[in-house]
Amino acid sequence: MRIATWNINSVRLRLPQVFRFIQEQKIDILCLQETKTEDQYFPSEEFSKQGYAHQYFRGEKSYNGVAIISKLKFQENGYINWCNKDDCRHISVRFGEEVELHNFYVPAGGDEPDIVINPKFLHKIDFLNEMKSYFAEEKKTKKILVGDLNIAPLENDVWSHKQLLNVVSHTPIETETLLDIISSGDWFDVMRSITPHEEKLYSWWSYRNRNWEVSNRGRRLDHVWVSKKLFPQVKSGVIYRETRSWERPSDHVPVIIDIDI
């Protein structure tokens, strides 16, 4: 089974890119973030015509939004309103009797990394702490967690560790909390389990940098985690950089894993 996660930055705007990607890469399950559309306008019928009959999505106008588009049938679906906010940042589905798939869009956190003066950053830290508590207690089921987590946790997940230490997405409070979620929840970070920590690894490049490929000032904000019970079934993983060069691209690129579930 091939699973991909992608912050698409408006699914309706970039539907041709999505269709090109899922067909060329033979994706079985696609998890999207920042769909930026209300449910009534989600292109459900178009995905069905592409062979993805099983869908679950939550969205709102112009902001946020998550979706799971699948060729395979899932038995259950649901969501959690983290921090008691109905802001469409999470959905989950269950395949078979055991495997849960969670799709997250963690708050970006604004510009100032200070929970006292920046409510957006406080929301992000509260969101992460709720995730930590939830998954620390939910270890029995085999799980996959994907999404734009808006944090680059390791030194080589950013183009300059020293220059970005005080920049939201790589501050110590964010990176330490995310690593705590991985540890306390018995997760494996798939891409860093495959790729040595010494190697630079990114999934996002700013729109501000027109020569993004030359300067390569990226961050690894998009993640795939699997529970320890599932990790032996992971066959491969890749960050698919090619989409960043497509016409009118998202600033994020997909992360793909092959897993036997």
Dist CA 124 CA 82 (whole Å): 10
Instruction: Report, as an integer, the average pLDDT of 103-131.
Output: 98
**Model confidence pLDDT, tens digit, residues 202-240:** 999 999 988 999 999 999 999 999 999 999 999 999 999
pLDDT at 98: 87
pLDDT at 244: 97
Cα–Cα distances in Å, from 139 out to 25, 52, 143, 228?
31, 30, 8, 9
**Model confidence pLDDT, tens digit, residues 17-61:** 999 999 999 999 999 999 999 999 999 999 999 999 999 999 999
pLDDT at 261: 85
Q: What is the CATH number of domain 2-259?
A: 3.60.10.10
Name the pLDDT band for 168 (thresholds 50, 70, 90): very high
pLDDT exceeds 90 at position 97: no
The pTM assigned to this predicted structure is 0.97
Dist CA 118 CA 6 (whole Å): 27
pLDDT exceeds 90 at position 110: yes
Tell me which residue of 42, 75, 72, 82 sits closest to 58, measured CA to CA.
42
pLDDT at 50: 97
Q: Encode the chain in three state secondary structure.
A: CEEEEEECCCCCCCHHHHHHHHHHCCCCEEEEECCCCCHHHCCHHHHHHCCCCEEEEECCCCCCCEEEEECCCCCEEECCCHHHCCCCCEEEEEECCCEEEEEEECCCCCCCCCCCCCHHHHHHHHHHHHHHHHHHHCCCCCEEEEEECCCCCCHHHECCCCCCCCCCCCCHHHHHHHHHHHHHCCEEEHHHHHCCCCCCCCCEECCCCCCHHHHCCEECCEEEEEECCCHHHEEEEEECHHHHHCCCCCCECCEEEEECC
> Percent of the chain having pLDDT more than 90?
95
pLDDT at 111: 97
